[in-house]
Amino acid sequence: MLPSRLSERDRFLMQELIIANSILKQPVDLSLKQRATGDLTLMDVVRMTDLALRRIISMAKEISSFRELSQDDQIALLKGSCSELLILRGVMVFDPTKDVWNHHVIQGSSGVEIKLDVLKGSKESQHYEEHKRFLTTFSEKWRRNENVMLLLNAITLFCPERCNLKSPENIRAKQLEYYQLLKTYLNLLCSPAEAQQTYDMLLRKLVDLHQLNQGLLRIYYGLNIKEVDPLLLELFDLAQHRQ
């Protein structure tokens, strides 16, 4: 439910994000063999990432502010934000009692648990601890508030500092609209003091997200590109980083 006191424009922006998010909430199609073992390897998770990235692209295209951009800027935003959006999605489905990410699967209702330990399978040993810290220190109250998390996703997507943007000021204006909506939404849920405190905390998390993302990218750069889907090669410029 959205607060009744949201303006018509804010309500439209929020509803648009909720509808777009339905793409990302669809079940994951895993093979019986993968689900039977319960122990997914790092490469298994990378292959699942391919599906998640395709859904992130579809999600972005459901947002009118994104569709209004030139194709060059759309590509630049997706290439710059996709791995950060993956991390944020992970925050939304993380179970801190088991240190796992929970995903629904197409067949069966039990879902699949991806252990955080899978990150230990990379050469970036420090990233596991940093990623765990990011997940476990994210406020339980706010990471379970879907509207707040969707606004953080939008702010991350419309980042005017991404490389190769043709119209960064246009994108900055779009991002500012989501920043303002986040502030408005928090003020409708909390006292002014708590709203400001929460807003500041969430923005610090976005700074942490950017730093954490560098470690995740190094994991992707270390993959055998012969085993990686073409979409990942393109989004992360993996071939270029292996030269």
Structure confidence at residue 138 (pLDDT): 96
Structure confidence at residue 133 (pLDDT): 95
Per-residue pLDDT at 243 exceeds 60: no
CB atoms within 10 A of CB 113: 16
Q: How far apart (Å, rounded) are the C-alpha atoms in residues 16 and 153?
A: 13
pLDDT band of residue 226 (cuts 50, 70, 90) is: confident
In the chain, the number of structural domains is 1
Per-residue pLDDT at 171 exceeds 90: yes
Structure confidence at residue 148 (pLDDT): 98
Instruction: Tell me the whole-structure pTM to 2 decimals.
Output: 0.90
Between 238 and 7, the higher pLDDT residue? 7
Cβ proximity of 101 and 94 under 8 Å:
yes
Tokens of 2: 């959205």
Half-sphere exposure of 86 (CA within 13 A, CB side): 24
Structure confidence at residue 230 (pLDDT): 86
Instruction: For residue 23, give the nearest of 84, 89, 101 by alpha carbon.
Output: 89
Between 33 and 234, the higher pLDDT residue? 234
pLDDT band of residue 202 (cuts 50, 70, 90) is: very high
Does 3 reside within a domain? no
pLDDT band of residue 130 (cuts 50, 70, 90) is: very high
Least confident window among 9-18, 35-44, 195-204: 35-44
Between 14 and 40, the higher pLDDT residue? 14
Query: What's the pLDDT tens digit per position in 138-162?
Result: 999 999 999 999 999 999 999 999 9
Does 97 reside within a domain? yes
Per DSSP, helices labelled H in 137-167 are: 140-143, 146-157
Per-residue pLDDT at 112 exceeds 80: no
Per-residue pLDDT at 87 exceeds 60: yes
| SS3 per-residue string spanning 194-210 | HHHHHHHHHHHHHHHHH
User: Over the range 179-205, which residues count as b (16 or more CB within 10 Å of their CB) and which as e?
Assistant: eebbbbbbbeeeeeeebeebbeebeeb
Between 104 and 12, the higher pLDDT residue? 12
Does 36 reside within a domain? yes
* DSSP reduced 3-state for 112: strand
* DSSP reduced 3-state for 243: coil
Between 106 and 68, the higher pLDDT residue? 68
Percent of the chain whose pLDDT exceeds 90: 63
Does 52 reside within a domain? yes
What is 50-110 written as a DSSP string? HHHHHHHHHHHHT-HHHHTS-HHHHHHHHHHHHHHHHHHHHHHHEETTTTEEEE-BSSSSS
Does 114 reside within a domain? yes
Q: How far apart (Å, rounded) are the C-alpha atoms in residues 60 and 163?
A: 18
* DSSP reduced 3-state for 113: strand
Does 1 reside within a domain? no
Domain interval for residue 36: 8-241
Between 219 and 34, the higher pLDDT residue? 219
CATH code, domain with 226? 1.10.565.10
Query: What's the pLDDT tens digit per position in 20-76?
Result: 999 877 766 655 445 444 567 888 888 778 888 999 999 999 999 999 999 999 999
The pLDDT mean for the chain works out to 88
Q: How far apart (Å, rounded) are the C-alpha atoms in residues 229 and 53?
A: 11
Cβ proximity of 180 and 156 under 8 Å:
no
